[in-house]
Amino acid sequence: MGLTRNERLRTSISLYINYLVHGMAIVILAQNMTMLSKQWGVTDAGVSFVISSLGIGRLIVLYISGVLSDKYGRRVFVQLGILTYIPFFIGITFSPNIYVGYFFGILAGMANSFLDSGTYPALMELYPENPTTANILIKAFASIGELILPILVTVIEYYHVWFGASFMVCSIIFAINFFVISGSKFPKLSTVVKEKSDGIKAKLSSKDKINAIALTLYGYVSMSTFYLVSQWLTKYGQAVLNMNTAHARYLVSIYSVGSIAGVIASTILTGLHFRSTYLMFASTLTSFITLVVVSTVLVQPVLFIGSFVIGFTAAGGVMQVGLTIMSELFPDRKGFITGVYYTAGSLSSFTIPIVTGYLYKISVQSIMLFDCFIAAVGVLISVVILLNTRRVKLV
């Protein structure tokens, strides 16, 4: 017997709330960069080094957790994600140096991987008739978290409250949601590896291999494109356009509003059965063009508008669209596919902060130009996928 409508709704909301807090976690280190650099006695580049630890944490467990999710179920990995995230929020606030901070950053990356390997497959199983929309909504809640956090940090600073208060808020929400998840019902696993009659797993065709490689690369590129913006937009506004701290932080909030609007637009389009590969191409191309404009036309109105457009396109759920396309092309192992796709994203969250740490020594503008290059690669990949799946039926 399947889940009732209310049971599906309760489970879905709980899963989405996790990603609201995760969205806050994505930007919480960057938004507290000044306080953390003082606490650790390092420069902003040192904090960027700690941010790279999240990528290592994701890499350590994401692939294997995706495989095990197909075997042992989704709930346990969602719960494990929460129980690993809470020590990160608490630990970072009391870390005496970047090395201890790096350890807790690794925990955050692992927590993100556990959540991904349990949540994405679970939502596709909860809503098999519209998996793209279900996955895109994850990005909506993450974007809401990214929107709320800079405002929360600004309020905390204005009233001279301890900077760790924002970290504690995230911990409390996760703790409450852990018990809600524990009482929620999850659908039966739908990931059973299909085999040929002789017992040998079906081999991939050349076209399947190209799609698999291209979409895995897209996982890296799509993560990199919006990750760079979310981490460096505030510093870019301050260093290049001489904006004050409060106004520069609002750029991230505008970016997040654009992301939420993008998610709504993507949800509507996928609900109308707009082809997901077209959506991927259009979003990637638009974000590339906007990044070029933002990096070369150095005036504040352009940056404000560009922040919204980049959020709308690069962070409006296009990464989740890529995952859904990959899961539809290879439907037999949803957890495994999630692991592979987000392992590529994990490589991004590990390597990109290291690269930007070096580029920061040159200029913040060089970081944005680097993002333009990454986005251009994304356009090429989306063209390959678009052409290579023209005759494939996709949701």
Listing DSSP states for 25-54 in one string gives HHHHHHHTHHHHHHHHT--HHHHHHHHTHH
Look up tokens 């960027």; give the residue: 48
Indicate whether 395 belongs to any domain.
no
C-alpha to C-alpha distances, 179 to 70, 75, 106, 183, nearest whole angstrom: 23, 12, 24, 7
Tell me the two tokens of residue 22: 């995760």
pLDDT digits (tens, 9 = 90+) for 334-372: 788 888 898 888 788 778 888 988 898 899 999 999 999
**Is residue 117 a part of any domain in this protein?**
yes
The whole-model pTM stands at 0.78
The Cα–Cα gap between 326 and 395 comes to 11
- The two tokens of residue 253 are 């909030």
Query: In this structure, is residue 3 part of a structural domain?
Result: no
- pLDDT for residue 316: 82
Q: 130: burial class by Cβ within 10 Å (0-12, 13-18, 19+)?
A: middle
Instruction: Check which CATH number belongs to the domain holding 231 and give it.
Output: 1.20.1250.20
- The pLDDT of residue 171 is above 90: yes
Assigned domain for 335 exists: yes
Q: Which residue type does 52 have?
A: S
Residue of 137, 138, 87 whose CA lies nearest to 116: 138
Number of structural domains, the chain? Answer: 1
- Could you list the residue range(s) of the whole structural domain that residue 321 is in? 8-185+204-388
Tell me the H-state helices in 159-299.
165-182, 206-241, 245-271, 276-296
Is 41 part of a structural domain of the chain?
Answer: yes
- List, for residues 131-166, the tens digit of each pLDDT value: 888 888 898 899 889 889 989 999 999 999 999 999
Is 197 part of a structural domain of the chain?
no
Cβ atoms 315, 259 nearer than 8 A: yes
If one counts every other C-beta atom within 10 angstroms of the C-beta of residue 268, the result is: 11
CB neighbours (10 Å) of residue 342? 29
Q: Quick check: 59 and 109 in contact, CB under 8 A?
A: yes
Asked, for residue 198, whether it belongs to a domain, the answer is no
Residues of the chain above pLDDT 90, percent: 56
Q: How far apart are the first and last CA of the chain?
A: 25
Q: Is residue 167 part of a domain?
A: yes
Do residues 28 and 167 lie in contact, with contact meaning Cβ atoms separated by under 8 Å?
Answer: yes
pLDDT in tens, 177-200: 999 999 999 988 865 444 443 433
